[in-house]
Amino acid sequence: MADLHELQGTADRLAALMRDKLDVRADSLDRALHQAGRRLPRARRADGALILAALERAQHPRLARVTDGTGAAQAARRIEAWLKQSDPQTRRARARAGLLGEIAFRIFAVLVLLIVVLVWRGGL
DSSP one-letter code for 19: H
Q: ∠ CA 28-1-19 to the nearest 5 degrees?
A: 20
Q: How much is the pLDDT for 122? A: 87
32 in Cβ contact with 17 (< 8 Å): no
Q: What is the pLDDT of residues 78-110, one digit of tens each?
A: 999 999 999 999 999 999 999 999 999 999 999
Residue 1 has pLDDT above 60, yes or no: no
Give the model's pLDDT for residue 110. Answer: 98
pLDDT at 111: 98
| Among 45, 94, 53, residue whose Cα is nearest residue 72 | 53
DSSP assignment of 50-92: HHHHHHHHHTSHHHHHH--HHHHHHHHHHHHHHHHH--HHHHH
Task: Identify the CA nearest to 32 among candidates 62, 21, 43, 54.
Answer: 21
Residue 44: CA atoms inside 13 Å, Cβ hemisphere, count? Answer: 21
Domain limits of the chain?
Answer: 1-86, 88-124
